[in-house]
Structure 1
Amino acid sequence: MPVITNIDDLKRLYQRRVPRMFYDYAESGSWTEQTFRENTSDFEDIYLRQKVAVDMTGRSTKTQMIGEDVSMPVALAPVGLTGMQNADGEIKAARAAEKFGVPFTLSTMSICSIEDVAEHTTKPFWFQVYTLKDEDFMRRLFDRARAAGCSAIVVTVDLQILGQRHKDLKNGLSAPPKLTVKSIANMMTKAQWGLGMLGTKRRFFGNIVGHAKGIKDASSLSSWTAEAFDQSLDWEQIAKFKKMWGGKFIIKGIMDAEDAKQALNVGADAIIVSNHGGRQLDGALSSIRALPEIIDAVGDKIEVHLDSGIRSGQDVLKATAMGAKGTYIGRAYIYGLGAMGEAGVTSALEVIHKELDLSMAFCGHRNIQDVNRDILLIPEGFEGRWQK
């Protein structure tokens, strides 16, 4: 068993153990990947203020996200194709999250279905939906999430059209993977991954195949996904989805203060400041740079969370100190899942929790709910001073 001390340790194992197609899917952004890179590098521009001779006993990272108790202000983000990173990946990640006491968010584009995850977990999880044209399919999706006991819906609003991700196009990304000379040669070097896939029946998009009209198998899926996303989405439609669901409602993909106000107007319980991990609009601000303006605009009226770029407990601490009530990890837990299955997801959570706990203590705090901007050294102009 390798010694894991940070998320990069898991990333190195992940790269060795998972086919290139799926590694590239996770570890890439759109176009030049500027936003993808800056999501992580911009955290490095924020420094922490060390305090000494402070009682560090009795520390707690426990808090709440949308009224749910969490062991730390971290949730597992929705990630498509998770079941291609490791066999039955969504089930394994959901189990790890449940045991650790953090929320798991299942993607609509998951390999394991809503019902699969519900069958193998005991606590409610969150379900992420895209805004699709087929209203009947959306209603049935909400009904299935309700029947599975999901405690919140996360609506992704920044994917009406798909950003161009060069690596996915060049790799011919699909689930299950297309069998070409190149893909077969690469998969033959990933024996453990291959054995896992041979041992599971879950290799297609479980929430779509057999549920969407005309989708009986993988061959009809690609044409459906190309046409399914609703390019005409507006705030009126988002409000309709909120009414359709009727429960806790989170809007993911907010990068602008005016959009944050619109989310507040439709009655969302929380918003997620997110640029889709740098996979949609390249050249957009990093999430951590966009966060302060959004906090200033709506932070006392609605719960603001942050996604994109979190790779450590210090990143979680910095986002929390800037006002985020919760953060999301996507790639960080995918590295763990691809490296070591459920144990790898647990390892990723343990690494982040330890970094968060110790860094909070070094900054003079014993409770994550007491942390604020006083622990940060933020450079002037970090949020940007842009010409009008």
Structure 2
Amino acid sequence: MSNTMQGIIEFGKMLAAPSGPRGIQAVPSNADMRLLAKRKVPKMIFDFIDGGGGDEITLRANEKDLQDVILLPRSLVDVRLQDTTATFAGDNFGLPVIMGPAGLVRVAGSGGELSAVRAAGKKGVPYVISTSSAFSIEEIAAEATGPLWFQLYLWRSKELVKNLIDRAKEAGCTALVLTVDVPLNANRIRDLRNGMSIPPKVTLRNAYEAARRPKWLKGIMTGPPIGFRNLQGIAQGSSALSHSEFINKELANLGATWEDLEWLRRQWDGPIYVKGILTAEDAIRAREAGANGVIVSNHGGRQLDGLPSSIRALPAIAEAVGRDLEIFMDGGIRTGSDVLKAKALGATAVLIARPWVFGVAAAGEAGVERVISIFEQEIQQSLALLGAARFEDIDSGFASFPQSWERNAMTPDLALNR
């Protein structure tokens, strides 16, 4: 298909995409939700959500490599009921989907993180509060009716980290997600080209885009200032500096080691999941340092460019530690069949971020609800078509992946230490 024809099709979808709380229920896919979000927010905001690090090679690989995984169906199986239940973090959940951490979502408008956590609660889906949220732990927890987890970094100040841990525990968070792949923030070329800042500023460059979206503009101009509300009062400059500048200059810990994870283990008695693992070696080290699980992730392609896709890294990690740790995956998950592919290659459940942020941008709480519903419907449909009555029955026999992917990336020494 030519680029011109593809552009015409995309433009037609954008025009046809419904809006409003009722119309949002007619959005047929998460790809269409993305297009609707593109209409609702200025280009700089859309690119902030949609973009990745560097030349976005890893960003594109996350989705492309999922497409290269082939599902292998079973025939004549009784699938009158499709059980989407998944067991992780010591509990049963109706869906194998977790709302992954995303920072500063209020830039997307429509209530930001508060819209998302309300939708997650209605669907019984765990919501991971980001340290970089535009609302505080306490503000988000006050709107939550479902499971809450908390994401944090091993920043330079252990006092700051301990403060966040204590607040998360007090707010009712039951698991920690430790992100280890952001020693500092990488360049995101789209943001640099657009002059994106936190908080967003209306300039001559983007004034027309903002003026065409008065609802978004009003939402940005009203309400609390957009910044790191979790850090107000405990970190100087938590709202005045840009996102990257603040993290890189004030908080980044280039000296973090596995000993810091051991320290964190002593501070928290619930599950700890280490996010940003791409090798069997690091998964083994996470296990030895006290983690309960790992999240196979390249930060959605937003950090170091040129990394392997998450789905490509998953099989080797599952083979190395799958008997000892819970394994989750994020990066490129857009459909219900993507979720089943991740399960077949070794994941217990998946995390999503961009899809639910696009839901916020498109229609706030109703948009996020629709995103979760799309995943639910597609997982049910995919189970039936695959010939599996239960999500938990999906194993490696239901999928194949390219021979060029290495199933077992362990060195002999690491294998002997298992």
Bin of the TM-score, shorter chain as denominator length: over 0.9
Task: Supply the distance in 2 between the matched residues of 1:32 and 1:216 (Cα, whole angstroms).
Answer: 29
Aligned partner of 1:134 in structure 2 is: 157
Opposite residue 140 of structure 2, the aligned amino acid is V
Aligned partner of 2:213 in structure 1 is: 190
Match status 1:121 vs 2:183: no
Q: Deviations over 1:49-100 (max 9, x none)?
A: 2333221112210112211322111101101111111243111111111111
Q: Deviations over 1:167-222 (max 9, x none)?
A: 1222233222123212332211112212333442252221123331x237425877
Task: Supply the distance in 1 between the matched residues of 2:407 and 2:78 (Cα, whole angstroms).
Answer: 37
Aligned partner of 1:346 in structure 2 is: 369
Q: Determine helix, strand or coil for the equivalent of 1:328.
A: strand
Match status 1:375 vs 2:398: yes
- TM-score norm. by structure 2 comes to 0.88
Task: Supply the distance in 2 between the matched residues of 1:335 and 1:155 (Cα, whole angstroms).
Answer: 24
Where structure 1 has 5 or more consecutive residues not aligned to the other structure, the ranges are: none
Task: Supply the distance in 1 between the matched residues of 2:71 and 2:344 (Cα, whole angstroms).
Answer: 10
Instruction: Specify which of 226, 229, 232 is matched with residue 206 of structure 1.
Output: 229
Task: Supply the distance in 2 between the matched residues of 1:166 and 1:377 (Cα, whole angstroms).
Answer: 35
Instruction: Specify which of 258, 262, 266 is matched with residue 239 of structure 1.
Output: 262
Contact 2:185 2:247 in 1 (8 A): no
Equivalent positions of 1:266-285 (< 5 A) are 266-285=289-308
Where structure 2 has 5 or more consecutive residues not aligned to the other structure, the ranges are: 1-22, 412-418
Count matched residues.
386
**Structure 1 216/107 Cα, relative in aligned 2: closer, same or farther at 3 Å?**
closer
Task: Supply the distance in 1 between the matched residues of 2:374 and 2:41 (Cα, whole angstroms).
Answer: 21
Opposite residue 171 of structure 2, the aligned amino acid is A
Match status 1:302 vs 2:322: no
Instruction: Specify which of 44, 58, 81 is matched with residue 67 of structure 2.
Output: 44
The Cα of 1:223 is off from its aligned counterpart by: 5.0
Aligned partner of 2:8 in structure 1 is: none
Contact 2:185 2:244 in 1 (8 A): no
Q: Deviations over 1:23-61 (max 9, x none)?
A: 111111111111100100111111112333221112210
Q: Determine helix, strand or coil for the equivalent of 1:207.
A: helix
Opposite residue 172 of structure 1, the aligned amino acid is G
Task: Supply the distance in 1 between the matched residues of 2:359 and 2:332 (Cα, whole angstroms).
Answer: 16
Equivalent positions of 1:59-138 (< 5 A) are 59-138=82-161
Task: Supply the distance in 1 between the matched residues of 2:241 and 2:43 (Cα, whole angstroms).
Answer: 22
Aligned partner of 1:359 in structure 2 is: 382
**Structure 1 27/48 Cα, relative in aligned 2: closer, same or farther at 3 Å?**
same
Instruction: Specify which of 200, 203, 218 is matched with residue 240 of structure 2.
Output: 218
RMSD: 1.9
**Structure 1 158/220 Cα, relative in aligned 2: closer, same or farther at 3 Å?**
closer
The Cα of 1:350 is off from its aligned counterpart by: 0.9
State which drifts further: 252-261 or 237-246.
237-246
Match status 1:258 vs 2:266: no
- TM-score norm. by structure 1 comes to 0.95
Opposite residue 321 of structure 1, the aligned amino acid is A
**Structure 1 350/365 Cα, relative in aligned 2: closer, same or farther at 3 Å?**
same
Aligned partner of 2:5 in structure 1 is: none
Task: Supply the distance in 2 between the matched residues of 1:250 and 1:192 (Cα, whole angstroms).
Answer: 38
**Structure 1 178/97 Cα, relative in aligned 2: closer, same or farther at 3 Å?**
same
Match status 1:145 vs 2:168: yes
Aligned partner of 1:9 in structure 2 is: 32
Instruction: Specify which of 312, 315, 318 is matched with residue 289 of structure 1.
Output: 312
**Structure 1 107/35 Cα, relative in aligned 2: closer, same or farther at 3 Å?**
same
Contact 2:197 2:242 in 1 (8 A): no
Q: Deviations over 1:327-362 (max 9, x none)?
A: 011111111111011111111111111111111111
**Structure 1 342/53 Cα, relative in aligned 2: closer, same or farther at 3 Å?**
same
**Structure 1 275/338 Cα, relative in aligned 2: closer, same or farther at 3 Å?**
same
Contact 2:69 2:400 in 1 (8 A): yes
Opposite residue 261 of structure 2, the aligned amino acid is I
Q: Determine helix, strand or coil for the equivalent of 1:159.
A: coil
**Structure 1 39/222 Cα, relative in aligned 2: closer, same or farther at 3 Å?**
closer
**Structure 1 384/271 Cα, relative in aligned 2: closer, same or farther at 3 Å?**
closer
Task: Supply the distance in 2 between the matched residues of 1:58 and 1:82 (Cα, whole angstroms).
Answer: 36
**Structure 1 202/125 Cα, relative in aligned 2: closer, same or farther at 3 Å?**
farther
**Structure 1 182/362 Cα, relative in aligned 2: closer, same or farther at 3 Å?**
same
